[in-house]
Amino acid sequence: MLNFTPEERKITLFLLSLALCGLVLNNLIKVNCRIERMVYPPIQLARLNLNKVNLAELAAVKCVSAVLARRILEYRDLRKKFNSLEELKEIKGIGDQRYSKLKELFYIE
Amino acid sequence: MKRLLVILAVFYCLGIILAGLLRINFWVITVSATAIFAAVILWGRKNGIFLAAVLFLALLVGYLNTRNSWVLSNCHIYKLVAYKDSALYWLNGRIVSQPEFKNNRLWFILRVREIQLDKLRYKCCGEVLIKMDFEQALNYGDDLTLAGNLTRPPGFGRSRGYRDFLARQGIYLIMPIKDYRQIIRQDKFNGVGFIRGCFWLRNYLEQVIRRHLPALPASILAAMVLGQKRDIPWLVNNSMVKSGTVHILVVSGFNVGIVAFMINLLLKILRLGRKARIILIAICLLVYCAITGATNPVIRATVMSLVFLAAYLLRREPDIYNSLTSAALFILVINPRQLFDIGFQLSFISVLAIVYFYPKFETLVHLEAWRSKILKFFAQGCLVSFSAWLGTLAIIALNFRIIAPVTVLANILIVPLATLITLCGFTLVLSGLIYPDLANLISLPTAALITLLLNLNAALIKLPFAFFYL
ipTM, 2 decimals?
Answer: 0.90
Verify that B58 and B129 share a domain, yes or no: no
Task: Please compute Rg for chain B using Cα positions.
Answer: 25
pLDDT tens digits for range A34-63: 888 889 988 888 899 999 998 888 888 888
Query: B106 with B176, same domain?
Result: yes
Q: Please determine, for residue B88, whether its predicted confidence score (pLDDT) is greater than 70.
A: yes
Residues of A in contact with B455 (CB under 8 A): 41, 45
Judged against a pLDDT cut of 70, whether residue A2 lies above it is answered with: no
Q: Are residues B124 and B98 in the same domain?
A: yes
Q: What is the model's pLDDT at position B333?
A: 92
The answer to whether residues B32 and B85 belong to one domain is no
Q: Tell whether A62 lies on the interface with B, counting CB pairs under 8 A.
A: yes
Candidates A3, A5, A34, A45, partner chain B, best to mutate (most B CBs within 10 A): A45
In this prediction, residue B175 carries a pLDDT of 93
Of the candidates B173, B191, B209, which is a domain's last residue? Answer: B191
Considering the entire predicted model, what is its pTM?
Answer: 0.84
B104 with B177, same domain: the answer is yes
The answer to whether B308 and B335 have CB atoms below 8 angstroms apart is: no
Nearest neighbour of A105 by CB, restricted to B234, B451, B455: B234
Query: Residues 6 or more apart from B92 whose CB is under 8 A from it?
Result: B112, B113, B114, B115, B116, B144, B145
Whether B43 has a pLDDT exceeding 80, the answer reads no
Which residue of B233, B268, B445 is in closest CB contact with A25? B445
What are the extents of the domains in chain A? Answer: 6-40, 44-107
Q: Is residue B138 in a domain?
A: yes
Q: Which CATH number is A44-107 given?
A: 1.10.150.320
Give the Cβ contact number of residue B9 at 10 Å. 22
> How many structural domains are present in chain B?
2
Q: Within an 8 Å CB–CB cutoff, is residue A7 touching chain B?
A: yes
User: B29 lies in a domain?
Assistant: yes
Q: Which residues of B touch A104 (CB under 8 A)?
A: 233-234
Residue B400 lies in a domain: no
Per-residue pLDDT for B11 more than 90?
A: yes
pLDDT for B159 equals 53
What average pLDDT does the structure give for chain B?
A: 87
Nearest-by-Cβ selection for B442 from A19, A42, A47: A19
Q: What are the angstrom distances between the C-alpha of B410 and each of B159, B223, B226, B231, B453?
A: 31, 19, 23, 23, 10
Q: Which residues contact A86 (CB under 8 A, 6 or more apart)?
A: none
- pLDDT classification of B388: cutoffs 50, 70, 90: confident
**Contact assignment for B451 to A29 by CB distance below 8 Å:** no
Return phi, psi of residue B18, to 5°.
Answer: -60, -35
CA distance B125 to B112: 5
Q: For residues B360 and A26, what is the distance between their CA atoms, to the nearest angstrom?
A: 47
Q: Which residue on chain A is closest to B437 by alpha carbon?
A: A19
Cβ pair A105:B442 closer than 8 A = no
Q: Would the CB atoms of A23 and B441 count as touching at under 8 Å?
A: yes
| Same-domain pairing of B9 and B34 | yes
Q: Does one domain contain both B102 and B14?
A: no
The last residue of one of the domains, among B150, B175, B191, is B191
> How many Cβ contacts (< 8 angstroms) between chains A and B?
79
Interface contact B447-A39, CB threshold 8 A: yes
- Decide: residue A29, CB within 10 A, 0-12 exposed, 13-18 middle, 19+ buried: middle
- DSSP conformational letter for B469: E
Nearest one of B179, B170, B184 to B149, comparing CA atoms: B179
> Does any domain span residue B90?
yes
- Work out the pLDDT band at B83, boundaries 50, 70, 90: low
Interface contact A45, partner B, CB < 8 A: yes
Using the predicted structure, report yes or no on whether residue B148 has a pLDDT greater than 70. yes
Looking at the structure, do residues B135 and B176 belong to the same domain, yes or no?
A: yes
| CA-wise closest residue to B166 among B177, B155, B150 | B155
What is the pLDDT, as a whole number, of residue B23? Answer: 83
**Residue B54: pLDDT band with limits 50, 70, 90:** confident
% of chain B surpassing 70 pLDDT: 97
Residues of chain A in contact with residue B445, where contact means CB-CB under 8 angstroms, are 18, 21-22, 25
Residue B281 CB neighbours (<10 A): 22
What count of residues does chain A have?
A: 109
Region at B315 (left for phi over 0; alpha for psi -120 to 50; beta for the rest) = left
- Cβ–Cβ contact A13 with B under 8 A: no
Residues of the domain holding B64:
4-70
Q: Are residues B144 and B106 in the same domain?
A: yes
The full length of chain B comes to: 470
The answer on pLDDT for B180 being more than 90 is no
Do the Cβ atoms of A22 and B458 come within 8 Å?
Answer: no
A23 contacts in chain B (CB < 8 Å): 441
CA B451 to chain A, closest CA, distance in angstroms equals: 5
Could you give the CA distance from residue B432 to residue B442 in angstroms, rounded to a whole number? Answer: 9
Average pLDDT over residues B176-202: 87
What value does the mean pLDDT take over residues B369-398?
84
Average pLDDT over residues B283-305: 88
Identify the CATH number of the domain in which residue B184 sits: 2.40.50.140
pLDDT tens figures, B323-333? 889 889 998 99
How much is the pLDDT for B191?
80
Higher-confidence residue: B49 or B179? B179
How far does A56 lie from chain B, in Å, by closest CA?
13
Is B26 part of any domain?
Answer: yes
* Residue B199 resides in a domain: no
Min mean pLDDT across B112-126, B212-226, B377-391, B433-447 is at: B377-391
